[in-house]
Amino acid sequence: MDIVLIITIIAALFLVIGLAEPLATWMRLPYSVILAVLGVSIWAGANALVNLQLMEVANPVAEAVLGFPIRSNVFIYAFLPTLLFQVTLGMNLRRMVDDWVPILVMAIIAVAVATFSVGYALFWTSSLPLVACLLVGSIVSTTDPSAVVSIFRSISAPRRLARIIEGESLLNDAAAIALFGLFMSFVMLGVPDPNLTDALLQFPILLFGGALAGWFAARIAIWIMAAFKGHELAVISISVALPYLAYIGAEQLVGASGVIAVVVAGLTLNLVGPGRLPPEVWVNLREVWDLLAHWAGALIFILAALLIPRLLEDVRPNDIMLIGVVVAAAVAARAAILFGLLPFLSIIKASPPVDLPYRTAILWGGLRGAVTLALALAVTESLRIPVETRRLVGILATGFTLFTLFAQGTTLRLVIGWLGLDRLSPIDEAMSRQVVAVALQSVREDVARTTEDYALTRDVVRSEAKAFGERLEASVKTADDSEDIQDRDRITLGLIALAGFERDRILERVRERTISARMAEKTLLDADRLIEGARSQGRNGYQRAARRSIAYGLPFRIAVLMHTRFGASGLLVRMTADRFELLLSQRLTLRDLDTFIKSRIRRIHGRRVAELLSELLSRRIDMVETTLEGLRLQYPGYADELEHRFIRRTALRLEEREYAALREDGLIGSEVHMTLQRDLMARRAAAESRPDLDIAVRGPDLVRQFPLFADLDEKSASRLAKALKTQYVDDGQVILRKGDRSGSVFFISSGAIDMQRAGQTWRLGRGEMFGHVAALTETANRVEVRAIAPSTLLLLDMERFRNLLTKSSALRKEVEKSAVQRGIDPDILAIHEG
């Protein structure tokens, strides 16, 4: 085919892509449906031109369209890696970790249920062998959630729901394509009824082999990209090569799933890339991939739609019945997941509860698209598969895809409307009216100042002011007439707005380079949890998410265990340094929120709600300060180093801004500006590096924070510091229970604890100790000790504690005092002065 014709056709396809999105918005139809319609229309138009000989000039182009070299390997090797890789880059992986159970369970079980439901339904109603029926099942089990997810986002559906659908779909496609490759090999080998044991044994090899290949390729690519991070175009070019090399390497060299390799490579880059690349490079890389995926997704749909007539050219009446069987079995399998498995996961708290209307919308929005057609095309092109099997697989997959696109896709918005998902709740409706009224009042004040600044004509100003005043009066009246919003709901809405503003401030700090990209991901994750916690559980959910943001968590405890038991301190050093930086970043952001409460939330929700939110914010700040102070005491000087680093980065940002202003004003030329920028980049690279943390260095300063040890000499204090062991506890965690025998004495380095006994509560804070009375009397503990804030405790074994008592008079007095308070004779404790 002439190269000019090929380029002409490709250019025309890009023109169609440019027109498709506005057309889909105007017609209120899913984008994929419009692309499919345009693809079939292009084929129909080209076929009419060739058969009717209407325009001789256009005939070569029409013949080129009908003969365009479209093969399944074009879809699988050129387009599929791009689509999968972009999806993984766009995911909030750290947020999806919270929902890994429903995502993984629904993805794996959904693929299995759909594959076997469709496969056995076809096996019972057609002449195809079982393996061919299972092949059809794996082809149609791929899903395209873009339509329902885009609608969910437009109607403000819960973010967590959209995230679960996206994650489930990605893993669903990966697992389905891996199963497709497995059953395809059975069909080509002529195995009519495969041994499921063999299939199950081969499946993990495909998955884990692909995962290892993808991880290895991504780690090499990240290493190269980090080395070239000053060259943005080079970094982006390497990222473009990564999914293709991972796919081909897994398929051709390892013999594993290329799809799994691409997914794992994308996930690895998504997790590691933001911390290894400059923020602006990462943002631009993501934007490039968004564009590539947009083009790839559109082209694969249009080109696949061009093949629909070819795949359906030999359809028979009995095939229509079999398409109905596939539709019924696939819908039933999806319904079993949504109305059976998903509610069960909600009951056992493994998944958020999903209301019935949303589940119904997900069911009807389960469209199939280009991936299904591409896999079907691969079957029809294989000469090692029987002719009748090729014909039926192509017809069934294509017919099912057309049903989902034109029956479900065209009616999806109608179903959304029928379910009432496109309407605001009464609270949101009343809230929107109040927001409009408050916003218009602010706008009126700003417009009045603007007219004064520009000295506009009084008559014009008076006329516009009158019209605006009428609108403002009407909006205020509407807000007053609306249903009252309860304070509980106002608090929830205020917390959502506060967490949203916190998220915006984090992003702004990242752009200003005062918060590193590494910490931005964690703080943004915490802000998302705050939003969803407030949305789902109000004040309690917000406070729970706030406590979680500074909790130590399981990974930190594992790092402590590895350090204390095995002497492996690398993970603990990194996580402690991350914790330092995270707390400083949180403190920096939280101090900006009070102004937002006073200036914005108070005007919308009133003084009482604003005061309550200010109180909640104050508690968060206190928790962060308490936790940070504990780390400061434990590792003196490190927080100061981080603050020095913050000041240097802020100074560099302001210096860069000043150079840009001088360049824009024409006071310096481009050569001078570039020279200054190079020097600035060198100093910024030095400022970006984080200082090293030595967790072994504590010394006597750690001991001196306790008044109990004030009279120890330098040698004894150093020896004690080495003997103390660290324990981290979260807010609400039980440290000692009644009846426990710990054998250690606890000293509070930071935080606070409550001791409860017989309905009485004692509160202890920094510098105090507990557990010594039970240890000295060698009796079971009689109180329950619980942390009321994230706390750092220092533990000393009983033998060393007894030796310490003989050297410290202050410690002996404190022990005797606590014994008297508990009604215990101090002589029983056998305390003797050394």
How far is C-alpha 547 from the chain's CA centre? 19
pLDDT of 153 reads: 60
- CB within 8 Å of 426: residues ≥ 6 apart: 483
What type of residue is 346? S
- Give the residue from 538, 532, 548 showing the smallest Cα distance to 500: 532
pLDDT of 833 reads: 47
pLDDT of 430 reads: 67
The DSSP output letter for 338 is: I
The total of other beta-carbon atoms located within 10 Å of residue 639's CB is: 18
pLDDT per position as a tens digit, 296-307: 878 877 877 777
* Element (DSSP H or E) covering residue 762: strand 760-764
CA distances from 318 to 323, 391, 665 (A): 9, 13, 76
Per-residue buried b or exposed e for 764-798, using 16+ beta carbons within 10 Å of the residue's own CB: bebebbbbbbbbbeeeebbbbbbbbbbbbbbbbeb
- Give pLDDT < 70 ranges for the chain: 1, 52-59, 67-70, 93-98, 144-162, 190-203, 370, 424-428, 430-431, 434, 438, 453, 476, 479-485, 513, 517-518, 564, 567, 633-639, 688, 690, 693-702, 704, 818-834
Place of tokens 């499921």: 196
Taking phi over 0 as left and psi of -120 to 50 as alpha, with beta for the rest, 313 belongs to alpha
Instruction: Return the SS3 of 422.
Output: coil
- Give the residue from 391, 372, 396, 371 showing the smallest Cα distance to 381: 391
Instruction: Return the SS3 of 746.
Output: strand
Q: How far apart are CA 832 and CA 834, in angstroms?
A: 6
Q: How far apart are CA 45 and CA 9, in angstroms?
A: 14
DSSP string, 632-699: HHHSTTHHHHHHHHHHHHHHHHHHHHHHHHHHHTTSS-HHHHHHHHHHHHHHHHHHHSPPP--TT--H
- Identify any residues that bridge with 736 across adjacent strands, giving them in sequence order: 785
Q: How many CA atoms lie within 13 A of 288 on its CB side?
A: 15
Number of residues assigned to the chain: 834
pLDDT of 832 reads: 47
pLDDT of 834 reads: 43
- Give the residue from 755, 762, 756, 767 showing the smallest Cα distance to 792: 767
Q: How many CA atoms lie within 13 A of 150 on its CB side?
A: 17
What type of residue is 418? W
* Surface-to-core class of residue 271, CB atoms within 10 Å of its CB (0-12 exposed, 13-18 middle, 19+ buried): middle
- Give the residue from 193, 273, 275, 213 showing the smallest Cα distance to 238: 273
Identify whether the C-beta of residue 326 lies closer than 8 Å to the C-beta of residue 115: no
- CB within 8 Å of 710: residues ≥ 6 apart: 704, 810
How far is C-alpha 726 from the chain's CA centre? 32
CA distances from 63 to 10, 49, 58, 77, 411 (A): 14, 9, 9, 26, 35
- CB within 8 Å of 68: residues ≥ 6 apart: 1, 6, 9, 303, 306
Q: Is the pTM of this model over 0.75?
A: no
pLDDT of 52 reads: 66
Structure tokens at 106: 């629904």
pLDDT of 485 reads: 67
Structure tokens at 490: 């106002």
CA distances from 677 to 653, 660, 777 (A): 11, 9, 69
Per-residue buried b or exposed e for 295-316, using 16+ beta carbons within 10 Å of the residue's own CB: ebbbbbbbbbbbbbeebeeebe
Instruction: Return the SS3 of 619.
Output: helix
The DSSP output letter for 275 is: H
Place of tokens 């009689």: 782
* Element (DSSP H or E) covering residue 755: strand 753-757
Q: How far apart are CA 16 and CA 277, in angstroms?
A: 36
Strands ordered across the beta sheet of 784-787 = 734-736, 784-787, 753-757, 760-764
pLDDT of 329 reads: 92
Beta strands in 218-373 (DSSP E): none
Place of tokens 């990966």: 174
* Surface-to-core class of residue 428, CB atoms within 10 Å of its CB (0-12 exposed, 13-18 middle, 19+ buried): middle
Place of tokens 């002439």: 2
How big is the chain by its Cα radius of gyration, in Å? Answer: 33
**Residue 797 phi/psi, 5° resolution?**
-70, 160
Q: How far apart are CA 216 and CA 221, in angstroms?
A: 9
pLDDT of 215 reads: 93
Q: How far apart are CA 562 and CA 569, in angstroms?
A: 7
pLDDT of 650 reads: 77
pLDDT of 214 reads: 92
Identify whether the C-beta of residue 36 lies closer than 8 Å to the C-beta of residue 311: no
Q: How far apart are CA 830 and CA 301, in angstroms?
A: 84
What type of residue is 414? L
How far is C-alpha 97 from the chain's CA centre? 8
Q: How far apart are CA 633 and CA 680, in angstroms?
A: 34
